[in-house]
Amino acid sequence: MPPQIRRTLLHHQTTYEEGGKTVDDPTELVAALVVIRNPWFGLGWVEDLRPAIRDHGPVLGTLLTDMILNVTGERLEGYGKASVVG
């Protein structure tokens, strides 16, 4: 089952000054976020979480990557990833 996406957020920050000095080449930070419905909510104990994770991973990875590349295009220099559960 594909993830049920509740909302997305795209943050775009441009830094023109750092440490009191104007930077020659402004730096940009782009962050993409997605909130999904918990696929295990209401199921009680689930022994193996891997099937849903494997279903969701490619869909969410493509969505988040596309969100960022729509802003950065070919200018992307690095990336990171994280998740928060709660």
Over the stretch 20-33, which tens digit does the pLDDT of each residue have?
Answer: 999 999 999 999 99
Q: Mean pLDDT score of the chain, rounded to an integer?
A: 93
Q: Which residues, other chains included, contact 60 with Cβ-Cβ below 8 Å and sequence gap of 6+?
A: 3, 34, 36
Whole-prediction pTM: 0.83
Q: What is the DSSP string of 46-84?
A: -S--HHHHHHHHHHHHHHHHHHHHHHHGGG---------
Backbone angles phi, psi at 28, to 5 degrees: -120, 140
- The domains of the chain, with CATH numbers, are 5-75 (3.30.1330.110)
Assess contact for 41 and 6: CB atoms under 8 A.
Answer: no
Measured CA distances, 62 to 4, 22, 43 (Å): 15, 35, 27
